[in-house]
Amino acid sequence: MIDLRIAAVGDIHLGEDVRGQYRRKLEGIEDRADVFMLAGDLTRHGTLEEGRVVADELRGLSIPVVAVLGNHDYHSDLQYEIAAELRDAGVIVLDDDGVVIQCGDKKLGVVGGKGFGGGYAGKCASEFGEREIKNFVSHTRYIAEAWKVALKEIVADHRVVLSHYSPIKETLEGEPPEIYPFLGSYLLAEAVDTAGADLILHGHAHKGSEKGMTPGGIRVRNVALPVLGRAYSVYCLNCEDEFHSHDSQRQAG
Amino acid sequence: MEAPQYVVARVQQALAEDGRTHELGIRVDIRGDQLFLRGQVSGAEQRERLGQVAHETAPELHVHNEIKVVDAGAPGEDEHLD
């Protein structure tokens, strides 16, 4: 049995005043994990200067680094420029698409993007009424559909979804329920449950809880740094042969 | 006199929207002429900026900055998802 080890964190919120500090905490990550994933909110205000700090902190790590952006990274309308800085530093930035990473003899598929809000089944916004509300909900619906398609297309031994917003309520526990609709949407979970995946990682909810699962039984981890209380956590996917065949069948279905 | 609920909302809005802070998860409470800030941030400078923005937004109140600075520790035990 060989584990596929995923180091993950979100909401690192870096800025010039903490330059170099986070990088120091990444020492030895290549011995602990096969891939490093960042679940958005890498900056505080979404400025290009902050984006460059993040890029410098992540540059030259000897394991693949996959990231999505978060709402803070969109604040200055420079999300594409920040993503370009990160890509120049060797980071794979997902924007409602997917990538396959070779980890040893295993292929790891990662699908994701920022995600968006709307709320959870039974207590959520719907595409009805004012144009502004319809735009809000249809944005999440568009993202969920893109993830579903990307997951179905990817051919890999394991599939992980990387998001900023949460697909489930469970990992929001600790946040005020009144703001749940701004923290995520069940549409994201529904899409991933339909297409299948081994794990969903998200951030955004600083006061939430680490562990939960989708209605379909896919494990969800809120890796927001304030939730973890550490530089990152490591999740190991079991690569037993039995698990493989199950996964392949599900993908084929 | 402005109802404290509206002052709380104004301070929270300022902490989220002010270019110096942009911090969304800070709890603001007012008791009499005392204003309390609670939550977690990643650095001492950000904590100080939040206190400053709160003070500027509600200068008539005494600000108690109880925000905690969280230093991300070393990674702990791996979790095996089997």
When pLDDT is averaged across residues B21-47 and rounded to a whole number, the result is: 91
Two tokens, residue B26: 């800070």
The CATH number given to whatever domain includes residue A82 is: 3.60.21.10
* Sequence spans of domains, chain B: 4-69
Which of B43, B45, B76 is closest, CB to CB, to A230?
A: B76
Q: In terms of pLDDT, which residue wins out, A249 or B22?
A: B22
Task: Dihedral sign for Cα A215, A41, A115, A251, please.
Answer: negative
CA separation for the pair A216, B32 (Å, rounded): 49
Closest residue of B to A12, CA-based? B42
pLDDT in the model for residue A137: 94
Mean pLDDT for each consecutive 10-residue tract of chain A (253 residues)?
Answer: 88 90 94 97 95 97 97 97 98 98 93 97 87 95 98 96 98 95 97 97 96 95 95 87 41 37
Question: CATH classification of B4-69, choosing from 3.40.50.12780, 3.40.50.150, 3.30.1340.30, 3.20.20.120?
Answer: 3.30.1340.30
Instruction: For residue B70, name the pLDDT band (cuts at 50, 70, 90).
Output: confident
* A169 in B contact zone (CB under 8 Å): no
Domain hosting A15: range is 3-252
- Cβ neighbours for A1, distance < 8 A, ≥ 6 positions apart: A238, A239, A240
Query: What is the least distance, in Å, from the CA of A45 to any CA of chain B?
Result: 7
Contact B78 A232 (CB under 8 A): no
Total domains, chain A? 1
Task: Count other Cβ atoms within 10 Å, centred on residue B37.
Answer: 23
Q: Which of these ranges, A59-63, A187-191, B56-60, B72-76, has the smallest mean pLDDT?
A: B72-76
- Cβ neighbours for A115, distance < 8 A, ≥ 6 positions apart: A68, A140, A143, A163, A164, A165, A166, A167, A184, A185, A188, A202
pLDDT in the model for residue A12: 94
Contact B81 A237 (CB under 8 A): yes
* A173 in B contact zone (CB under 8 Å): no
Closest residue of B to A10, CA-based? B72
Query: What is the least distance, in Å, from the CA of A17 to any CA of chain B?
Result: 8
Closest residue of A to B76, CA-based? A233
pLDDT in the model for residue A247: 42
Instruction: For chain B, give the mean pLDDT.
Output: 91
